[in-house]
Amino acid sequence: MSFYVFHQAGHNATWSVDSLERDHTAQGIIFSPVHQSADSVKRLKTKIRECSLFDPQFYLPNSQKNKFKQYSFFPETATDGFSTIDYSAVADHAATECVKFQIEQNFAAIVIPTRYLDQMYPDYRERQDAFTVAPFVKAINSSGSKKAVFLTLAITPHMIEAGAFRTQLLNWITSYPEITGVYLITTLDRPTKQIQSDAFLVEKMTFIQELQSSGMNVVLGYLNTESLLMTVFNNATLTIGTFDNTRIFSIDKFVANDEDKRGPRPRIYLNGLMNWVRFDQAKAIRDALPKVWAEIYEETDYGNAALTAPTDPHFSQPTLYKHHHVAISRQFDALKGVTASDRVELLNEWLDSASAAYRSISKAGIELDLHGAGTHITPWSKALNRFAKLGGLIS
């Protein structure tokens, strides 16, 4: 048994499509309205849609992002100005149209959207049921579709860490026989791009195990490089994103604020560090520490092209992102070839090697920025081994 890898597509979804078709870096793609217009989804090749998922993204139902307006079933569009009272009158129609869209476009499964609620409301289940779950289940049953059904669950660290609330979520999800899986998304406010809380990781991994033990298939959305740790779950679907907003979930991306923002400095993914490092700092490592560089850099045509170009790549160009797709997919391939318990051992070897490489970089006087530094390595190691013991993967 193994796991699956999907791209979490961003606004340049063609990069993910290219990587899937040409470089075979994933088994599917998750498309979404905030990044893809309805017409662009319909123009996708049938074989791409057949192996992929569509996330309707009802997280912020009053979002006024322009692409949402092309989807008649989106709450803001369906009610011409979202309000809970107005939406209740069209919830069945919106659900029917959304289910119809996913079926007509022949996506691999049907995804039921939910609203993002950041509090553990006593009536959390009732709110979600009334908003989308009950109307969507009704629409799916009426459609006669035999496709798998995934319920979107976008939850906070407090929800993950509250055992009683997790149990309520499990009881709610499993009360619908139509639901065969969960599209799990977790938020976590943090100062760095990589997760540094081992406690959060352990609780999240425990919840994933609970979902699988309840018979649910699990798709883990919006993962950053911690997707490597999640390979300990057989049959789970992991995601790799291109931009930060597809590697970290935040409700901010749905706020209609299109003012110009300064673009990020280019970064390159380095396998041996299990992290993205600022491109100029990566070149400093290459030049000063060739032996360390040979251990941390996974050669790809894309990476080599970027490193030998006369000018540094721009964040809007695909080269570094396609390098990431290929480089991390090789790590996934290595992990797929062994059992879950052996993955723990291999991941520990990689984490130890990354820690040693970071020490060498520091000793050489190369100061990496906040996001490229190795402060995530120790928490990941702690989380991996603690969960492996709790989950029975190691003794």
Q: What is the DSSP string of 141-198?
A: HHHT--SEEEEEEEE-HHHHH-HHHHHHHHHHHHT-TT--EEEEEE----SSSS---H
Same domain, 19 and 133: yes
Domain assignment present for 260 = no
End position of a domain, from candidates 254, 280, 300? 254
End position of a domain, from candidates 232, 254, 276? 254
Same domain, 198 and 332: no
* Global confidence as pTM: 0.96
pLDDT in tens, the chain (395 residues): 699 999 999 989 999 999 999 999 999 999 999 999 999 999 999 999 999 999 999 999 999 998 999 999 999 999 888 887 788 889 999 999 999 999 999 999 999 999 999 999 999 999 999 999 999 999 999 999 999 999 999 999 999 999 999 999 999 999 999 999 999 999 999 999 999 999 999 999 999 999 999 999 999 999 999 999 999 999 999 999 988 999 999 999 898 664 456 678 899 999 999 999 999 999 999 999 999 999 999 999 999 999 999 999 988 899 999 999 999 999 999 999 899 999 999 999 999 999 999 999 999 999 999 999 999 999 999 999 999 998 778 75
Same domain, 138 and 205: yes
Domain assignment present for 356 = yes
3: closest CA among 250, 258, 339, 345?
Answer: 339
* Structural domain range at position 15: 4-254
User: Angle at CA 107, nearest 5°, toward 241 and 208?
Assistant: 55
Instruction: Tell me the longest C-alpha to C-alpha distance in the chain.
Output: 65
Same domain, 274 and 203: no
Same domain, 299 and 326: yes
Cβ atoms of 90 and 76 closer than 8 Å: no
Same domain, 155 and 278: no
End position of a domain, from candidates 211, 232, 254? 254
Same domain, 288 and 222: no
DSSP state for residue 392 in the 8-state scheme: T
Supply the pLDDT for residue 150.
98
Domain assignment present for 395 = no
Supply the pLDDT for residue 395.
55
Same domain, 135 and 283: no
Q: Alpha carbon of 83 to those of 33, 63, 68, 80, 154: distances in Å?
A: 20, 11, 16, 9, 21
382: Cβ–Cβ under 8 A, 6 or more apart, which residues?
Answer: 198
Cβ atoms of 54 and 107 closer than 8 Å: yes
Supply the pLDDT for residue 257.
64
Q: Residue 111 pairs with which residues in a beta bridge?
A: 150
Which pLDDT tens digit goes with each residue over 69-97? 999 999 999 988 888 778 888 999 999 99
CATH number of the domain within which 42 lies: 3.20.20.70
Pairing state between β 275-278 and 267-270: antiparallel
225: closest CA among 377, 11, 30, 2?
Answer: 377
Same domain, 312 and 286: yes
CA atoms within 13 A on the CB side of 32: 24
Total of domains in the chain: 2
Domain assignment present for 177 = yes
Domain assignment present for 84 = yes
